[in-house]
Structures are given as structure tokens and as C-alpha cells.
Structure 1
Amino acid sequence: MTTNIFQDLYAKYKDKLSLPKPWDTVVISILNVLLTLPTFIIAHHNFLELDTRIPIDRILLFIIIFIVFHYILIAIKKYIIIGVFIYLVMLFYGTLVGGYSFYRVYDDYRSMMYTMGDNPYPQDIIIDKLLPFPNKSKVLKAIDFTNPKVRNFALSATTKHFQEAKQIKGYSEYRSIIQSFAVFKEIKSRWNYVNDPIGSNYIATASETLQHFSGDCDDHAILMAAGVKAVGGIPRLIHTDAHIYPEIYIGTKRDLENITFLIRKVLFVEESKGKQIHYHIDERGHIWLNLDYTGTYPGGKFMSETILGQLTLND
């Protein structure tokens, strides 16, 4: 009986809720572009590209995706206004309660379009925006930077390393970053790589890892992120196809120049001698310095450049 009532209501109002001409064409065109662009970028990153003077394969790929979405939207156009209305309500609710908001939609699309430009520091930001960070809730819980053991370890590292940096002009501006480098140096000097048990992806908390300074790449990344966070730095974790490593927020290109000077001339003189400083620039122009255990100094060489996701701890 209840089912029949809903069916009657749907039959009565479905034509009224469908878009009148020419608005149906306008809405379909807008939705088509919004769906085609991110789908094309994902396909562009994951399909082999022909080495031709004119990127015919990419042009055809875009056209095919556009046509497919066009026919799908045409087929369901009677239901589009309902879907758009529900979507807008969800975004409005997210804006009010701090969830997925209108700004987040804009920000995600801006990030996607950034990857289509001539970016000299290629990152797969589009994948980052659409794929979840692996074990995100467990990883966030494991970064227990407020734990007294983690906080005390980070403080001891800052008193053990780089006290001479206090004499450098501009030290106060980069205090948290330099102290984060002290945490990096202490962890690096004591780290012992140990694989997880076979068939298991064991995620240790930072306070647990402190007992033996041992673990795999995600354990190191979690400990490093917790230590950096404990002294006021802003860390993020980068997920690649086979690796997780930490980075620290540096700021602008001017900040990078100053930090590079400190690394090369004061803090890691021997370790960085004649070597390159490696970093990423995100879609907002923010610079992030590599803190992976594979390097002997902040900004060491990346193990992998293919970024599948990132998790930033800036709260």
C-alpha cells in the first residue's frame, strides 16, 4: 500500500520536477563539463600517451568521455533536477556544519585544473582528491602528538640538536621548522627499518614506535608527523604506489630560500653538501619539504614521485 502511494506521488510530480526547455540543455551541458574534466584528467594520468606532435589521442579521449556523459545525462534528464537539488542541500548543510562545503567543491576543482597546467613539480593531485588516504582514521589516531612520551621526545630532540641556530638572524621566524629538523635528525640517527608481519599492515602509534625506533615506512611517517606536530610544525603524509613518507610545510619560495641556507650552511652542512633540496609545490603554491628516512637531511631525494594521496595535519 505504501509503495503504491509513493509510486503515485512520483508519477504525479516527476514531469513537474523535470527541467523545461531550454534549461534542461543548459544544465546538462554544465554537468557534462563538470563530470568530463576530472574524468579526463584521471584517464590522462592512467592511459599511455602517444608520442605525437599533436596530442590526437588526448583529444579523442576527451571527446569520447564528453559524448558518453552527454548520452548518460540525456537518458536521466527527468531526474537531474532532483539530483541537483539534493546535492545543493547537502553542500548547504556541509557549509553550515563544517563538512563538505561549497568552498571545498571549488577548491577540489581548482586543484584538479592545476594539474592540467605546465606544473614543473608534477603531483597526481587529481588522484589525491578522489581516492581516500589508506587507513586514514587509523593513521590519524596513531599520530598521537599530545601523548606525553611523544611530546617529551620531541622536546629532548630540540635541546640536543641545533642550539647554535639560535644565533642565526631570523631564527625566531623559523623556530618550529628548525626544531622539526631536530626531530628529524634524532629519528634518522636511531631509525631501524623492520617489515610488518607477512600478510598484515600493522600501524603502530607514534608513542609505541618510540620504544624501539623501529618499523616500516608508515610507522616512520607517523612518528615523524607526530614529532613535527608536537613542536608546532605542520606535517603531511604522502602516499605513493608503494610507500608513505612525511613532508613539512615550509611556506613560500622566499621561505624555501632561507630554509635551504640553514640546511646547507648551518644545520646539515656535511649531509647536504653538493646535493639537491627536494620539495613539492602544491596547487596553492605552498612548499613542502621531504622528510623521508631515505634522506640524510631535510629535502633528501624522493623514493617515488607518483603521488596517490596526501594527508595534511594542520588543525
Structure 2
Amino acid sequence: MIKIKKINFQGLKQQFQVKKPWDDVIIFVLNILIAIPVFIIVHQNLINPNWFLNIDRVVLFIVMVVVIQIILRFLRTIIIFCIILYVLVLFYGSTVGNYGFNSVFEDYNSILYTMSDNPYPQDIIIAKLLPFPNKSKIINAIEYQNPKVRNFAIMATSKHFKDVKGYSDYRTIIQCFAVFKEINSRWNYVSDPKARDYIATATESLLYFSGDCDDHSILMAATIKSIGGTPRLIHTTGHIYPEILIGSLTDLEKVNFLIKNVLFTAESSNKKLFYHVDERGQIWMNLDYTATYPGGPFLSEEILGALTLD
């Protein structure tokens, strides 16, 4: 009985075994498909040692590729099962976890976008390849479900642009601009303690409307998200600032008209709007504390990372 089972297993293994040289080709492709998302997950949860030219990240990726290659070659006789397992893991991530088919597609799309000859060189976002500073602390500090945060946002929408008519499709964006106006008109820049990053929560910043760039970004993101807007934080060299999702290029034209002719006519007069276009063609507009109108000039244009709050 034992001998029969052994024969059946050997026959099953031979049936699913891929012949040379296609097994090497499949192993290489599968290695890359696995290595990229695993690298993205791992490196974003590691402390950044700030090696020159991010050599540490290059070394990490090479080590991961080598390790995965060895594992796959060891399992080459059951490579079909490895592919099935990979698909099952992504299926589980899509249904239960936070990283699945859609996340993998967007990560590959981002990588191809950064490699392409796109018309927005300042928009090459390598958030997938560099860790966002203080990511977990910042996410926890964006208390968009806190009643104090939402009540402040509601107050701002009642104070500014309440009587704007004829733009129902852009009501949420207009209300987010009201929040921007209220915060930026009251914000007082105060530096962190020397040689230490102090991450203030949104409710803490509501007390005195004071803090540095990350405190401002946290408060802006929390209040915008609390009333239905989609914010994200942009990390540049020595600076963090918030942006808001506008939509398509058609939406940008409408919002541009609103800013220049209805909402911020004096502040934006004869001035340019600044925004970024992501890898999916979506428009994100600058809401930095240095700006007097949405889409004001960037304090720093080189993007090192983006943290989107879906």
C-alpha cells in the first residue's frame, strides 16, 4: 500500500514538472513577480539607515532575489504548485488582507511609470522605493474620526464658501478648500524640539494651530478626510506637505476656474496652480502651509515619498 502511494506521488510530480529550459524561464519570471511586492512590503517596515544613494535598499533587493531564486530552484520540480500558491496568497490578500492583486498591479504600474518618458518629470513618485518617515506615527495621529476634528471641519465649511452655487459636483472639494482656508489663515509655524521629531496629533494641533510641517499636514489630512475628501502627504527633502485629490484633467479645469474666479480670486490673481499627476493620471493639488490658495507654489518639488489616505 505504501509503495502504491509512492508511485502515484512520483507520477504526479512528473506530470506537473516543467521541462528545460522553460523551468528556468518560469523560475526567473516568478522570482521577479514575487521579489518586487515582497521588497516593497519589507523595506517600508525597516528603519532607513540613510546609506549613500540608498545602497542599503539595492543590497536588500539583491539579497531577496538571490534567496527567492534558491528557494524556487529547490522547488523546481513542483513549480506549478509554486505558481498556484502565489496566486492563492494574492487572492487571500485581496479578500482578507491589505495586499492583493490590485496592490501588485498598482506597484508594477508605478515602477513602469517611473521608468517611462512621462511629461511630468517632477511627478516621478518613488514612494514605493523609499520608506515614508514616521509612517505609523503619522497615520495614528491623523484622527479623522475624532468628533473634535470633524466639528472643526464642519465649522470651517459653515464659515467659508457656504453660499457658492452651481457647483454641486465639486461640493466636497469646495468644502475641503474652506478647511484649507481656515487652517492656513491661523497656522503658526513652530519648530520641533532640537534633534527630535515631535509628531502632534490632529486634536493636539487644534488647540493652538501651531507646529511644524508634519503637524500641519496631519491636521489638514485629518480634517479633509473627516468630510469626505481624499488627502495624501508628500515627503520631500526635509519637508512634508499635504495634497488633495482633484480628479481628472477635466476636473482640474473646473477647479482652476473655481479657485481663480470664485474662491481665491485675490490670492491666486495672475498666479499659477501647482499640482502633481500620479501614475494613474489623477490630479493632486498642493495644500502646503506656505500656500495662500490651493495649488500654491511648492516649497520643495523633489518627491521622495507619498502617503495616500484612502
Give yes or no for the alignment of 1:119 onto 2:115. Answer: no
**Which residue of 1 is the match for residue 243 of structure 2?**
247
| Offset of residue 103 of structure 1 | 2.5
- The answer for unaligned runs of 5 or more in structure 2 is 1-9, 40-52, 55-60
**Which residue of 2 is the match for residue 188 of structure 1?**
184
Give yes or no for the alignment of 1:313 onto 2:309. Answer: yes
The 3-state SS of whatever aligns with 1:248 is: strand
Q: Map 1:38-53 to 2 at 5 A.
A: none
Structure 1, residues 113-161: CA drift from partner, whole Å, max 9, x if none?
0122222223333x21233322222212211122222112111111111
Structure 1, residues 28-76: CA drift from partner, whole Å, max 9, x if none?
442476589999xxxxxx69xxxxxxxxxxxxxxxxx99xx79x94897
The match for 1:303 among 279, 299, 304 is: 299
Deviates more, 1:82-91 or 1:217-226: 82-91
The 3-state SS of whatever aligns with 2:266 is: helix
The 3-state SS of whatever aligns with 1:111 is: helix
TM-score normalized by the length of structure 1: 0.76
**Which residue of 2 is the match for residue 224 of structure 1?**
220
Work out the number of aligned pairs and report it.
Answer: 272
**Which residue of 2 is the match for residue 132 of structure 1?**
131
**Which residue of 2 is the match for residue 25 of structure 1?**
24
The 3-state SS of whatever aligns with 2:267 is: helix
Give yes or no for the alignment of 1:281 onto 2:299. Answer: no
The aligned amino acid for 1:285 is: G
The 3-state SS of whatever aligns with 1:130 is: coil
Cα pair 1:18 1:79 within 8 Å, conserved = no
The aligned amino acid for 1:276 is: K
In structure 2, how many angstroms separate the alpha carbons of the residues matched to 1:92 and 1:158? 41
The aligned amino acid for 1:185 is: K
Q: Map 1:31-110 to 2 at 5 A.
A: 31=30, 73=69, 77-79=73-75, 81=79, 87-110=86-109
In structure 2, how many angstroms separate the alpha carbons of the residues matched to 1:212 and 1:218? 15
Cα pair 1:250 1:256 within 8 Å, conserved = yes
**Which residue of 1 is the match for residue 149 of structure 2?**
150
In structure 1, how many angstroms separate the alpha carbons of the residues matched to 2:71 and 2:200? 49
- The answer for unaligned runs of 5 or more in structure 1 is 1-11, 40-45, 48-64
**Which residue of 1 is the match for residue 207 of structure 2?**
211
The aligned amino acid for 2:160 is: H
TM-score normalized by the length of structure 2: 0.77
**Which residue of 2 is the match for residue 43 of structure 1?**
none
| Offset of residue 85 of structure 1 | 6.3
The 3-state SS of whatever aligns with 1:120 is: coil
Give yes or no for the alignment of 1:290 onto 2:286. Answer: yes
Q: Give the fraction of aligned pairs with identical amino acids, expressed as a percent.
A: 59
Deviates more, 1:233-242 or 1:214-223: 233-242
Cα pair 1:18 1:77 within 8 Å, conserved = no
In structure 1, how many angstroms separate the alpha carbons of the residues matched to 2:163 and 2:95? 48
Residues 105 and 267 from structure 1, CA distance in 2 versus in 1: closer, same or farther, beyond 3 angstroms?
same
In structure 2, how many angstroms separate the alpha carbons of the residues matched to 1:144 and 1:210? 11
In structure 1, how many angstroms separate the alpha carbons of the residues matched to 2:293 and 2:110? 29
Cα pair 1:18 1:78 within 8 Å, conserved = no
In structure 2, how many angstroms separate the alpha carbons of the residues matched to 1:222 and 1:155? 17
In structure 2, how many angstroms separate the alpha carbons of the residues matched to 1:37 and 1:100? 13
| Offset of residue 269 of structure 1 | 0.8
| Offset of residue 88 of structure 1 | 4.1
Cα pair 1:28 1:74 within 8 Å, conserved = no
The 3-state SS of whatever aligns with 1:100 is: coil
Residues 300 and 186 from structure 1, CA distance in 2 versus in 1: closer, same or farther, beyond 3 angstroms?
same
**Which residue of 1 is the match for residue 264 of structure 2?**
268
| Offset of residue 302 of structure 1 | 1.1
Cα pair 1:239 1:310 within 8 Å, conserved = yes
Residues 84 and 186 from structure 1, CA distance in 2 versus in 1: closer, same or farther, beyond 3 angstroms?
same
| Offset of residue 102 of structure 1 | 2.2
In structure 1, how many angstroms separate the alpha carbons of the residues matched to 2:222 and 2:71? 50
Cα pair 2:27 2:72 within 8 Å, conserved = no
